[in-house]
Amino acid sequence: MTMIAEQGAPAPAAARTPLLAVRGVKTYYGNIIALKGVDIDVHRGEIVTLIGANGAGKSTLMMTIFGKPQAREGSIVYDGRDITRMPTHEIARLGIAQSPEGRRVFPRMSVYENLQMGASVNNLAWFDEDLEKVCTIFPRLRERLQQRAGTLSGGEQQMLAIARALMSRPDLLLLDEPSLGLAPLIVRQIFEVIREVNAREGMTVFLVEQNAYHALKLAHRGYVMVNGLITMSGTGRELLADPQVKAAYLEGGHH
Amino acid sequence: MQAETRSRPPVDWTRLIKDAGFAAAIAFGLFALLVGLKTDQTLNNQMILVPRPQTLFALVAAVFVGRLLIGYWQATRAEGAARKKPRSNTMLKLEKYGLPVAVGFLVAYPLMVLFTVGPQGAIKWIDNFGIQILIYIMLGWGLNIVVGLAGLLDLGYVAFYAVGAYSYALFATSEPIKDFMAQIIGEGFWQAWAFWICLPVAGILAAFWGMLLGFPVLRLRGDYLAIVTLAFGEIIRLVLINWVEFSNGYAGISAIPRPSFFGIPFTAADNGFAATFGLEFSPIYRTIFLFYIILVLALVTAAVSMRLRRLPVGRAWEALREDEIACRSLGINTVNTKLTAFAIGAMFGGFAGAFFAARQGFISPESFVFHESAQILAIVVLGGMGSLLGVVIASILLVGGVEILRELDFLKQVFGDGFDPAQYRMLIFGICMVLMMLWKPRGLISAREPTVYLKEKKAVSADLVQEGHG
């Protein structure tokens, strides 16, 4: 754990153009507004986390970045390209991978096939190499390659969801609540993996979490979302120390 | 384990008898008025009630004994069930070795029949059993791509069967095409070759209609998709009925050219099949030839769907069935994936339709009612979604079963002359469905075989896996 604590390290220079720039994004479900003008920057090589309560709009932002639902106003620019109106599958091909909320593995397909699906954007070109890599990151998956994904435990399914996202060799990894419904020990493992992937490969990670303590400890920078608006931002350490954040999101102990 | 089986707990007879008595009481309540009393007419045209205590008693007694037996069976089985090994591996083995054996049997089938019952009786066995079942196997395999692999519930599959049949029928009987062909190639060419030329055309047209259906239903899933596809099937049928100038309405299309043996017609003429090969003329040759055509068509369907499952598009279909949202976020174009599933599934339906028209020589909208769609879907579901061998077994049971019912003449001696077992087919069909859903809710062959292996096959029974959340 101490390793993570020391990680709150200097964020890469904020002056560069961000890899992902969300500007004034408003998203509606029918007539109900879910995002009321959100601005977020994610720079290359960073881990950025977005914390907030249930229903704040965190997952909506995640899905809006992926084009389903599309933002009604504002813009989302990824690596210099406007992706606001792009269909989801094309966004995925630009090098953004997502581990969706609730894991969403393919339950009746084997772990191996799930990983193949993850690699489908690059036509299985680097499949063997990448399979070896994710199996090194998650040794549990190697043991279970032939098993149906639906028979895995919750933690293993989450590992699979992340591994599947990694199989497409993304530049930007979006993780929607990877700690959801997992035992504290597994949560720690998964966060450790995120830190490793970021440190070793320089992969940019945008992490949506309710588990604010772990997420802020891990992240270089963080944003706090309340009711579809970003109310606070800062480095992970700043937010962890902030009395408001403490009161709203960190009560109930550090587990 | 051994000791446990020996010390089986005694069966609780009081509970069983109580239970059976309760079932009998319910049966009595149900049947007392329905069966126990019969309304009848006297000679003076008065209605009288005839009590039938014996029948009622027999029914109630049957329920009592039946319930007792089921209860006894469950009680003795209950603890044995815990030791039951998952059978999925044997089912997969069956799928692996069963298929070549089945194919070998089918190739030999017409000759076997011919030598057992002779040319007269053979037509019935090859046509009513062989060809009929193979058509449904092919349709089942075609629909399996849409429902079993891509998970798109299609209740209007018969529409593509109809498109294929009418494409062939209309092209083959079209006078302008016939005249045109007669001018450039020669008289009689179209009559002889129409089937072989129209077969791919029918498939392509059906695939086109499959895409056409695909577009409006792209955003639908489950029940809603089922309703729209059901409507689509009915629309095609109603158009065929009502657009008389185009399809000749209810009267249908007759005198559809039969397939030739690659140019040699099956006629008694001098240039006919029998004369060419120095055989005595008999309609059986055509029947046997038709049998092999549909066998080849069905095997092509199976081969293509097995191959596709291992290709990216097939994997995408299966992933789509499991979770559409996850698919999209992995960069899979779900629109194309769905449309290809509809198109390829429909194409095989179209091939089967063209064959059907060629075999019958006459088609009308009567052949393409909803019941057909339901039957094909029942075959896929009963067989186990996605399983090729399952479809074969289910078609033999469902289609062959109905044909067998027609053969059960000896039942007339038991139940009297007016008894026609074929009239009970829907009842039997329904009972089979209910029993199937109770005992094997995932179909006869429910284990899904992974498309890739590292070292050894290890399949997990479907019963152990939760249903995919869509």
Backbone angles phi, psi at B144, to 5 degrees: -55, -35
Band the pLDDT of A6: cuts 50, 70, 90: very low
Confidence check: pLDDT of A4 > 50: no
Chain B: nearest CA to A1, how far in angstroms?
32
Q: For position B94, what pLDDT does the model report?
A: 67
Q: For all residues of chain A together, what is the average pLDDT?
A: 85
The pLDDT tens digits of the residues spanning B249-280 come to: 899 998 888 888 877 888 777 777 877 787 77
* CATH code that applies to domain A16-94+170-178+204-255: 3.40.50.300
- From the candidates A98, A108, A157, which should be mutated to test the interface with B, based on the most B CB atoms within 10 A? A108
Hey, are the CB atoms on B452 and A110 less than 8 Å from each other?
A: yes
Q: Alpha-carbon dihedral of residues B195, B197, B200, B202, nearest 10 degrees? A: -60
Contacts of residue A68 in chain B, CB cutoff 8 Å?
Answer: 325, 328
Each residue's pLDDT tens digit, A204-230 = 999 998 888 889 989 999 999 998 889
Q: pLDDT tier at A255 (50, 70, 90 boundaries)?
A: very low
A150 contacts B316? CB cut-off 8 A: no
Q: What is the rounded distance in angstroms from the CA atom of residue A127 to the CA atom of residue A129?
A: 6
Of the partner residues A97, A113, A147, the one whose CB lies closest to the CB of residue B315: A113
Tell me what the mean pLDDT of segment B18-24 comes to. 88
CA–CA gap between residue B115 and residue B172 (Å, rounded): 35
Separation of CA A169 from chain center:
14
A252 to chain B nearest CA, in Å? 32
Percent of chain B with pLDDT over 90: 26
* Mutation site for B-interface testing, chosen from A121, A127, A146 by largest number of B Cβ within 10 Å: A146
User: Any idea where the domains of chain B sit in the sequence?
Assistant: 2-83, 121-407+440-464
Q: Nearest CA to CA, how far is A176 from chain B (Å)?
A: 12
Contacts of residue A146 in chain B, CB cutoff 8 Å? 450, 453-458
Residues from chain B contacting residue A150 (CB–CB below 8 Å):
465-466, 468
Instruction: Name the residue facing B322 among A68, A106, A151 (closest C-beta).
Output: A106
Mutate to test the interface with A, among B330, B385, B453 (most CBs of A within 10 A): B330
Task: Give the pLDDT band (50/70/90) at residue B467.
Answer: very low
Residues of A with CB below 8 A from B89's CB? none
| Tens digit of each residue's pLDDT (9 = 90 or more) over B62-93 | 888 888 888 888 777 655 554 444 455 666 66
Helix (H) or strand (E) holding B85: none
Q: How close, in Å, is residue A211 to chain B by CA atoms?
A: 23
* pLDDT on residue A1: 35
Contact B331 A121 (CB under 8 A): yes
A32-A38-A39 Cα angle (round to 5): 170
Angle at B95 between CA B93 and CA B100, to 5 degrees: 105
Q: Rounded distance, CA A213 to CA B358, Å? A: 72
ipTM of this predicted structure: 0.81
Q: What is the pLDDT of residue B166?
A: 95
In the prediction, which pLDDT does B447 show? 67
Task: Please tell me which residue, A149 or B419, carries the higher pLDDT value.
Answer: A149
Q: What percent of chain A has pLDDT over 90?
A: 29
The 10 Å Cβ neighbour count of residue B421 is 18
Residue B453: predicted pLDDT: 60
Kind and range of the H or E element at B435?
helix B425-439
Residue B32: predicted pLDDT: 83
- Terminal Cα distance for chain A, rounded: 11
Query: Residue B364: pLDDT above 60?
Result: yes
- B327 in contact with A at a CB cutoff of 8 Å? yes
Mapped onto helix, strand or coil, the DSSP state of residue B47 is strand
Nearest to A146 among B332, B333, B454 (CB): B454
Q: What does the pLDDT read at residue B286?
A: 86
Contact A8, A62 (CB under 8 A): no
Mean pLDDT of all residues in B212-234: 88
Task: Say how far apart CA B305 and CA B169 lie, in whole Å.
Answer: 27
Cα of A244 to nearest chain B Cα, Å:
35
Residues of B within 8 A of A153 (CB-CB) are none
Per-residue tokens: B159: 């529409």
Q: Which residues of B touch A100 (CB under 8 A)?
A: 325-326, 329
Most confident of A156-165, B91-100, B384-393: A156-165
Residues of chain A positioned with their CB less than 8 A from the CB of B311: none
Q: At what angle do helices A111-118 and A154-166 cross, to 10 degrees?
A: 30
pLDDT of amino acid B160 = 95
> Does any CB of chain B come closer than 8 Å to the CB of residue A150?
yes
> Of B283, B302, B303, whose CA–CA distance to B291 is shortest?
B283
**The CA-based dihedral angle spanning residues A209, A215, A219, A222, taken in that order and rounded to the nearest 10 degrees:** 50
Nearest to A112 by CA among B310, B62, B367, B204: B310
Residue B411 CB-density burial (10 A; 0-12 exposed, 13-18 middle, 19+ buried): middle
Helical axes B132-143 vs B284-310, angle rounded to 10°: 20
Determine the pLDDT at residue B297: 94
- At a CB cut-off of 8 Å and minimum separation 6, what does B42 contact? B48
CA neighbor of A14 nearest in space, from A40, A38, A43: A43
Tokens in use for A148? Answer: 């149906």
Query: Average pLDDT, whole number, for chain B?
Result: 82
- Give the residue with greater pLDDT, A102 vs B355: B355
pLDDT of residue A175: 92
In residues, how long is chain A?
Answer: 255
> CB A112 to CB B450 under 8 A?
yes
What's the pLDDT score for residue B441? 76
More confident residue, B269 or B371: B371
Of residues B298 and A55, more confidence is placed in B298
The whole-angstrom distance between A32's CA and the closest CA on chain B is: 21
Q: What is the pLDDT of residue B4?
A: 45
Cα gap B102→B396, rounded to integer Å: 12
Distance between CA atoms of residues B384 and B392, nearest Å? 11
State how far the Cα of A164 lies from the Cα of A138, in Å rounded to an integer.
11
Q: What is the 3-state secondary structure (H, E, C) of chain A?
A: CHHHHCCCCCCCCCCCCCCEEEEEEEEEECCEEEEEEEEEEECCCCEEEEEECCCCCHHHHHHHHCCCCCCCEEEEEECCEECCCCCHHHHHHCCEEEECCCCCCCCCCEHHHHHHHHHHHHCCCCHHHHHHHHHHHCHHHHHCCCCEHHHCCHHHHHHHHHHHHHCCCCCEEEEECCCCCCCHHHHHHHHHHHHHHHHHHCCEEEEEECCHHHHHHHCCEEEEEECCEEEEEEEHHHHHHCHHHHHHHCCCCCC
Cα–Cα distance between B67 and B26 in angstroms, integer? 12
Cα gap B63→A5, rounded to integer Å: 72
Tell me if the pTM is above 0.80.
no
For B9: left if phi > 0, alpha if psi spans -120 to 50, otherwise beta; the answer is beta
In the predicted structure, residue B3 carries a pLDDT above the cut 70: no
Domain ranges within chain A, ordered by starting residue = 16-94+170-178+204-255, 96-168
**Minimal C-alpha gap between A93 and chain B (Å):** 6
Report residue A118 as tokens: 């993850």
The mean-pLDDT minimum among A65-69, A153-157, B51-55 falls in B51-55
pLDDT score at A181: 83
Token pair, residue A158, equals: 């989450």
Distant-in-sequence, close-in-space partners of B291: CB < 8 Å, separation ≥ 6:
B109, B110, B126, B127, B130, B131, B134
Q: Is A117 close to B316, i.e. CB distance below 8 A?
A: yes
Return the residue matching tokens 């309760």.
Answer: B22
Residue B409 in tokens: 């003449």
Task: Say whether residue A57 is in contact with chain B using an 8 A CB cutoff.
Answer: no
Of the listed ranges A203-217, B29-43, B52-66, B390-404, the least confidently predicted one is B29-43
Which has more pLDDT, B43 or B466?
Answer: B43
Torsion angle, CA of A208/A211/A217/A221, rounded to 10 degrees?
Answer: 30
Q: Cβ of B328 and A121 within 8 Å?
A: no
Angstrom distance (rounded) from CA B332 to CA B325: 10
Among A102, A176, A114, smallest CA distance to B327 is for A114
Q: What is the pLDDT confidence band of residue B179, given thresholds at 50, 70 and 90? A: confident
Does the beta-carbon distance from B323 to A98 stay under 8 Å?
no
User: Rounded to 5 degrees, what are φ and ψ at A37?
Assistant: 105, 80
Helix (H, G, I), strand (E, B) or coil at B363: strand
**Beta bridge pairs of residue A52:** A225
Contact indicator for A224, A216 with CB cutoff of 8 Å: no
The band of A14, judged by pLDDT with boundaries at 50, 70 and 90, is: very low
| B146 touches B154 (CB < 8 A) | yes
Examine the pLDDT at A15 and tell me if it is beyond 70.
no
Give the separation between CA A81 and CA A19, rounded to whole angstroms: 10
Residues 6+ apart with CB under 8 A from A154: A103, A181, A182, A186
Give residue A245's identity as a one-letter amino acid code. V
**What integer is the mean pLDDT of A50-70?**
88
A142: contact with B, CB 8 A cutoff: no
Three-state secondary-structure class, residue B386: coil
- pLDDT higher than threshold 60 for residue A134: yes
**In this model, does residue B368 exceed pLDDT 90?**
yes
Range name among A4-13, A187-196, B279-288 with the lowest pLDDT average: A4-13
The string of pLDDT tens digits covering residues A182-209 is: 888 889 989 999 999 999 888 999 999 8
Residue B67 and residue B23 in contact, taking contact as beta carbons nearer than 8 Å? yes
Using CA coordinates, name the residue in chain B closest to A114.
B319
Mean of the pLDDT values across residues A108-116?
A: 90
The region of weakest confidence among A69-73, B18-22, B266-270 is: B266-270
If one counts every other C-beta atom within 10 angstroms of the C-beta of residue B299, the result is: 18
B203: which residues sit within 8 A by CB, 6+ positions away? B164, B347, B348, B350, B351, B354
State which residue of chain A sits closest to B319, comparing Cα positions: A106
Rg of chain A (C-alpha set) = 17
Tell me what the mean pLDDT of segment B380-385 comes to.
Answer: 85
* pLDDT at residue B449, rounded to an integer: 67
Contact B318 A146 (CB under 8 A): no
Q: Which of residues 283-312 of B touch A (CB under 8 A)?
A: 312
Dump pLDDT digits (tens) for B182-198. 888 877 788 878 888 99
Lowest mean pLDDT among A134-138, B17-21, B421-425: B421-425
The answer to whether residue A33 scores a pLDDT higher than 60 is: yes
CB contact A112 to B (< 8 Å): yes
Most confident of B52-56, B64-68, B383-387: B64-68
**Which carries the bigger pLDDT value, residue A103 or residue A87?**
A87
